[in-house]
């Protein structure tokens, strides 16, 4: 089908993007608020949603669980030895928060939140960072006016900022050359490396890595940790059918199929069997 001439460029390749097609993918938000859909959300509503959708990785207070990102705190730490860069202490714009939560979160089910939910959860995260009051309602009209503490903390690239010379001889006093640091974690690294170089994972392990590892690998959100026989004891006692049903339908904080709805029941079963093997086989 040839598009009308006015709709093509010199090569005449490609199809016109319809307004509907664009609307479906045009999700970016700018600091001036451009791109925000109509809607609003309160800190009050956001609290419950955050607890359900976010807290298992980010912590009820935004303190971060395991190695998942810390969202709050860290004010005034940017010049310290170990700065804590969070939404409140580091991010320049609130629009970034709305944009990111909407495009990429929750981690296992991106773009599953409604616009209203994104407004509410964004409001709550701002509240966790003491940037709004507990009765605050975030809207398309007021988001751009929220001033973030580190708004002026960024500057454009002005490198190069070093000027080493091409010295070739007697560049420093040989006596000044001293070893100041060496690795201390060789053994741990090697053992972990060995684990990573094992033969290509079979089906069950592959699904496990994709859908289950991120919570069960560290026992996040109260999930039984892989390989922890004590944690799995009661589950195994309930029988494979029950464990399979929990995995497929979800249970408690665990989403159905670990949030990977595209997996078949058989694939989920292979991952469950893999996890069972980790606590039953020697």
Partner 1 sequence: MFSKPGSGPAVLRKVTQEASKVDPAKRRDFLKKGLMVAGGAIAGTQFASTLHASQNNLPPNLPEWSKSLGAGVITNPYGKPSPFEGDIVRRTVPWLTADRIAAISFTPLAELDGIITPSGLVFERYHAGVPTINPDEYRLMIHGLVERPLVFTIDDLRRFPSTSAINFLECPANGGMEWRGAQMDALQFTHGMISCCEWTGVLLSTLLEEVGIKPEAKWILAEGSDGAHMSRSIPIEKALDDTLIVYAQNGEPLRPEQGYPVRIFNPGWEGNTSVKWLRRLEVGDKPWYHREETSKYTDLLADGRARKFSYIQEGNSVVTFPCPERPLKEKGRYELEGLAWSGNGKIKRVDVSFDGGVNWQQARLKGLVLPKALTRFSLDFTWDGSPALIQSRSTDETGYVQPTYTQLREARGSSSIYHKNAIHTWRLHADGTVTNVQIS
Q: Using CB under 8 A, which residues numbered 216 to 245 contact partner 1?
A: 217-218
Per the CB < 8 A criterion, the answer to whether 244 and 268 are in contact is yes
User: Which C-beta is closer to partner 1: that of 41 or that of 106?
Assistant: 106
User: Which C-beta is closer to partner 1: that of 42 or that of 105?
Assistant: 105
Token pair 């029941």 is at which residue? 265
Find the shortest distance in angstroms from Cβ 246 to partner 1: 21
Q: How distant, in Å, are the alpha carbons of 62, 88, 269 from that of 79? A: 21, 15, 50
Contact with partner 1 (CB under 8 A) among 159, 234, 252, 281 = 159
Q: What mask, x for binding partner 1 by CB under 8 A, covers residues 39 to 78?
A: ------------------x--------xxx---------x
φ and ψ of 53, to 5 deg: -100, -20
Nearest CA-CA partner of 64 in 21, 107, 2:
107
Check binding of 281 to partner 1 (CB under 8 A). Answer: no
Residue 70 half-sphere exposure toward CB, CA atoms < 13 A: 13
Check binding of 5 to partner 1 (CB under 8 A). Answer: no
SS3 137: strand
Phi and psi based region of residue 139 (left: phi greater than 0; alpha: psi -120 to 50; beta: remaining): beta
Q: Among residue numbers 94 through 133, which ones bind partner 1 (CB under 8 A)?
A: 95-96, 99-100, 103-104, 107, 110-111
Contact with partner 1 (CB under 8 A) among 2, 135, 177, 266 = 177
User: Which C-beta is closer to partner 1: that of 27 or that of 48?
Assistant: 27
């Amino acid at each position: 089908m040839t598009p009308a001439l006015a709709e093509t460029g010199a090569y005449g390749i490609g199809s016109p993007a319809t307004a509907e097609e664009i609307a479906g993918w045009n999700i970016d938000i700018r600091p001036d608020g451009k791109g925000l859909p109509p809607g609003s959300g309160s800190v009050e509503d956001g609290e419950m949603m955050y607890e359900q959708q976010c807290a298992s990785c980010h912590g009820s207070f935004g303190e971060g669980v395991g190695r998942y990102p810390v969202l709050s705190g860290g004010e005034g730490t940017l010049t310290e030895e170990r700065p804590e860069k969070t939404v409140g202490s580091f991010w320049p714009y609130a629009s970034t928060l709305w944009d990111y939560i909407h495009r990429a979160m929750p981690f296992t089910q991106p773009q599953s939140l409604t616009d209203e939910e994104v407004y509410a959860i964004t409001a709550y995260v701002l509240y966790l960072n003491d940037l709004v009051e507990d009765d605050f309602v975030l809207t398309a009209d007021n988001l751009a006016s929220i001033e973030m503490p580190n708004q002026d903390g960024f500057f454009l690239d002005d490198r190069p900022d070093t000027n080493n010379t091409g010295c070739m001889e007697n560049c420093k006093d040989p006596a000044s050359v001293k070893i100041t640091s060496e690795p201390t974690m060789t053994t741990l690294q090697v053992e972990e490396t060995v684990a990573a170089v094992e033969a290509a994972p079979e089906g069950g392990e592959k699904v496990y890595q994709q859908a289950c590892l991120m919570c069960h690998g560290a026992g996040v959100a109260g999930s039984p940790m892989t390989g922890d026989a004590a944690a799995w004891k009661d589950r195994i006692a309930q029988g494979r059918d029950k464990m399979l049903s929990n995995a497929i339908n979800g249970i408690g904080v665990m989403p159905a199929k670990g949030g990977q709805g595209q997996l078949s029941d058989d694939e989920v079963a292979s991952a469950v069997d893999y996890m069972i093997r980790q606590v039953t086989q020697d």
